[in-house]
Amino acid sequence: MTGSAYLNCFYGILYRELYRFVQQRSRFLSALVRPLLWLVVFAAGFRAALGVSIIPPYETYISYEVYITPGLIGIILLFNGMQGSLSMVVDREMGSMRVLLTSPFPRSYLLICKLFSIALISSIQAYVFLFIASWFDINAPLAGYFYLLPACLIAGLMLAAVGLFISSLVRQLENFAGIMNFVIFPMFFLSSALYPLWKMREANDWLFQVCQVNPFTYAVELIRFSLYAKWNGSAFMVVAITTILFVLAAVAGYNPRMGLLGRKATGE
């Protein structure tokens, strides 16, 4: 297989993901409406209740809307990453996943192409959200918009990899509600997306510790710092290591030798 063959393969997977995303307008709208509701309704209500002190990367007092914007970008990446990866479950049920898995390219490469496509789509949504957020006076330094792209891509990759790993364990998409309750919501609420961690520590030290080990916290912090054109090395390291671990776990999950997929074949 030549380099151009690898590129053709990536392009094919990316095109399919993009096309499906564009076709599913309701998915696009709900991906935007969800964080916008948080921004416009939830944040307005909680602005008075939740005071935010000056914490890095912010250099002045900020409004609550400004604080939760990176967290809302995180939720876009989280939902889209999970949804995109869990579409593998639908593909498996519909039979179209076999076309992907019988490709002569290494399975790890195929799965990484899929993850990167999902991360790219998530990032596009994040920028659309930021554009709409600017109508509500939520703005970041110009350089931040450029720094944000790699941060969104790697955070998107991490969350899609988590979803892909889960998809290798889930038999039917009917379990998506369970994944919402046991994976997506805990990841979101037990993070720094909606409130700074020092607030959580004041309220409950045990919950603070949970937030500290939640990789989504670091994805949000990476996004927060990037949006203000600043570097957060520790957040980057955690996100990068978590991405690698979950990509490896997902590849193992789809490896016929490891048996996860083989066991599912009994039902097909």
Partner 1 sequence: MDAHPLQVDKLSFHYGSVKALGNVSFHIPAAGFVGLLGPNGAGKTTIFGLLTRLMSPQSGEIRYSAHLLDQEPARALQSLGVVFQQTSLDLDLSVAQNLHYHAALQGMSRKRARIRIQQELGRFDMQNRVDDKVRSLNQGHRRRVEIARALLHKPQILLLDEATAGLDFETRQMINQHIRQLCDDDGVSVLWATHLIEDIRTSDQVILLNQGKVIAQGNCEQLLRENHVTDLRQLMQKQFRAVA
Q: Smallest gap, in angstroms, from Cβ of residue 35 to partner 1? A: 26
Among 18, 20, 32, 62, binds partner 1 (CB under 8 A): 20
Minimum distance from residue 97 beta carbon to partner 1 (Å): 8
Among 33, 139, 171, 263, binds partner 1 (CB under 8 A): 263
- Assess 9 for contact with partner 1 (CB under 8 A): yes
- Closer of 36 and 261 to partner 1 (Cβ): 261
CB of 268 to partner 1, least distance (A): 7
**Footprint (CB under 8 A) of partner 1, residues 21-60:** 23
**From residue 74 to residue 113, what is the string marking binding to partner 1 with x (rule CB under 8 A)?**
--------------------xxx-xxxxxxxxx---x---
Alpha-carbon distance of 73 to 77, in angstroms, equals: 6
- Name the residues that contact partner 1, by CB under 8 A: 1-2, 4-6, 8-9, 11-13, 15-16, 19-20, 23, 94-96, 98-106, 110, 256-257, 259, 261-263, 265-266, 268
